[in-house]
């Protein structure tokens, strides 16, 4: 029986892209598909996927004939390894168009790529134009509202942020926004999804340090957690960023972000009508990215993709 196999990236730490891949596999399995996720030995289980992740070298088989293997846009080693295998299908799932040139998309003829899909319209539009691809389907990201939501009480004077990107901005902002300097700054780094959700649920403000993103999940997770959001949209965040749900800025606009962080701190502290309107707008934005919508589009995509390859959907059911 062939499988649908998602290959996790070499860096499979607690980042949104890996979580999305695992969500896909879980949804496919729940829908009855034979789906798996493969990772390198450095993978650690920071996300409760609900199924075992297979580690390369520990599996009883490598890839069954007829399997559809989904590679991240940055993957090359395993693409090279399987390039001459005539009995598998290769699909690229692109979650960041800024990284698309580093992997198999730029070499798709050499490695026999049979399809491409993405997680946002911004990514697909870029791929279609830059690589001359036809229609690139979008399977939208989702916020798990069973995990992300406001805590019973907020921690007064708290600013959460993720220092993995734009880490140099944090010290500068603390030095240049005296209104925020006295607040409790909460770095969210190398935490499980449950831990991140807990911290966001208690934080009053979320400083978005998005940088060259394909989408950017953390600001949406912060909106779902009733945080006032201020910072960088990271380009990919333009899909959901509005003046109603946050204070947003283009890349490297540190001066603008400083002013917006000052305003966000004031709004969070006042808890007036402006605060209520922004919190409600954030909730509506997060709710638009539901798990059920993601599931519906994902299953439809895979049924269509399997059929387009000339295969039978029934062959990929567990």
pLDDT at 59: 55
Is 232 within 8 Å of 207 (Cβ atoms)? no
> SS3 for 206-229, per residue?
EEEECCCECCCCHHHHHHHCCCEE
- The side-by-side arrangement of strands in the sheet containing 54-55 is 54-55, 35-39, 4-7, 68-72, 89-94, 115-118
pLDDT digits (tens, 9 = 90+) for 115-143: 999 999 999 999 999 999 999 999 999 99
pLDDT at 60: 44
pLDDT digits (tens, 9 = 90+) for 156-205: 999 999 998 888 899 999 999 999 999 999 999 989 899 999 999 999 99
Domain with CATH 3.40.50.2000 in the chain: 4-142+290-312, 158-287
Nearest to residue 74, comparing CAs of 92, 57, 88? 92
pLDDT at 317: 98
Q: Report d(CA 109, CA 33) in Å as an integer.
A: 28
CATH 3.40.50.10140: does it fit domain 158-287? Answer: no
> SS3 for 22-83, per residue?
HHHHHHHHHCCECEEEEECCCCCCCCCCCCCCEECCCCCCCCCCCCEEEEECCCCHHHHHHC
Chain CA centroid to CA 108, Å: 23
CATH class of 4-142+290-312: alpha beta
How confident is the chain (318 residues) per 10-residue block, as mean pLDDT? 91 78 97 94 75 72 88 91 90 97 90 96 98 97 95 91 90 95 94 94 98 97 98 98 99 97 98 98 98 99 98 97
Residue 15 Cα distances to 44, 104, 217, 218, angstroms: 12, 21, 9, 9
Is 81 within 8 Å of 57 (Cβ atoms)? no
Q: Rounded to the nearest 10 degrees, how much is the dihedral formed by the CA atoms of 76, 78, 83, 85?
A: -170
């Amino acid at each position: 029986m062939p499988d649908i196999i998602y290959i996790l990236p070499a860096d499979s730490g607690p980042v949104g892209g890996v979580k999305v891949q695992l969500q896909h596999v879980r949804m496919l399995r729940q829908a009855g598909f034979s789906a798996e996720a493969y990772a390198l030995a450095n993978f650690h289980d920071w996300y409760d996927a609900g199924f075992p992740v297979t580690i390369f070298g520990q599996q009883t088989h490598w890839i069954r004939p007829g399997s559809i293997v989904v590679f991240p846009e940055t993957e090359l080693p395993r693409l090279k390894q399987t390039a001459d295998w005539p009995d598998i299908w290769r699909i690229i799932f692109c979650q960041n168009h800024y990284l698309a040139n580093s992997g198999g998309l730029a070499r798709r003829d050499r490695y026999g790529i049979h399809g491409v899909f993405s997680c946002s319209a911004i990514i697909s539009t870029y791929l279609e134009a830059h690589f001359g691809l036809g229609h690139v389907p979008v399977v939208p990201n989702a916020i798990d509202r069973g995990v992300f939501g406001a805590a019973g009480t907020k921690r007064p004077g708290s600013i959460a942020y993720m220092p993995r990107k734009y880490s140099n901005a944090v010290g500068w902002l603390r030095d240049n926004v005296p209104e925020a300097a006295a607040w409790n700054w909460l770095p969210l780094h190398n935490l499980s999804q449950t831990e991140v959700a807990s911290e966001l649920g208690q934080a009053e403000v979320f400083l978005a340090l998005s940088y060259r993103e394909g989408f950017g999940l953390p600001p949406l997770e912060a909106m779902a957690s009733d945080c006032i959001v201020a910072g960088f949209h990271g380009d990919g965040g333009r899909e959901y960023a509005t003046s109603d749900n946050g204070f947003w800025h283009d890349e490297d606009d540190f001066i603008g972000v400083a002013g917006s962080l000052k305003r966000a701190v004031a709004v969070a502290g006042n808890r007036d009508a402006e605060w209520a309107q922004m919190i409600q707008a954030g909730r509506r934005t997060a709710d638009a990215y539901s798990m059920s919508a993601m599931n519906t589009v994902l299953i439809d995509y895979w049924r269509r993709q399997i059929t387009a390859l000339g295969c039978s959907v029934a062959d990929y059911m567990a």
